[in-house]
Amino acid sequence: MAVGVVVWKDDEVLLIRRAKPPRRGEWSIPGGAQELGETVKDTATREVREETGLDVTVTDLIEVVDFIERDDTGRVSYHYTLVDWSAEWRNGEALPSDDVSEIMWVDPAELESYGIWSETVRIIRHSAEQRHRPLR
């Protein structure tokens, strides 16, 4: 299992360009594999810190998504169950790790221009809706 984290700083979202498979060279949100004995929220915090150097506060569960990637023969090469979280930036300057080649903060209205996986775009939009939903 793995986590993905939609990190917000004001009204901008954090994007990373993956330096390793799966989806190497593509823009995405920070995240990675859960370690044995680690809670999913702790995984979210750790992965953001490891990939970007940022400290965040994990706020809301967004959704659980299956990511299945197949090779040219149709054989499954990657299968992750992704637990996606929203988080708010607390402090730090975003700097890429070995798993990340670039980092940037973007306006969510510009997501399509970065060729992001459609599921990731949907998750980011869902996170944005959650952030602005009034309490009842």
Catalytic residues: 102
Radius of gyration of the chain (CA): 14
Q: What is d(CA 123, CA 127) in angstroms, rounded to the nearest whole number?
A: 6
> Residue 125: helix, strand or coil by DSSP?
helix
Q: What is d(CA 8, CA 128) in angstroms, rounded to the nearest whole number?
A: 9
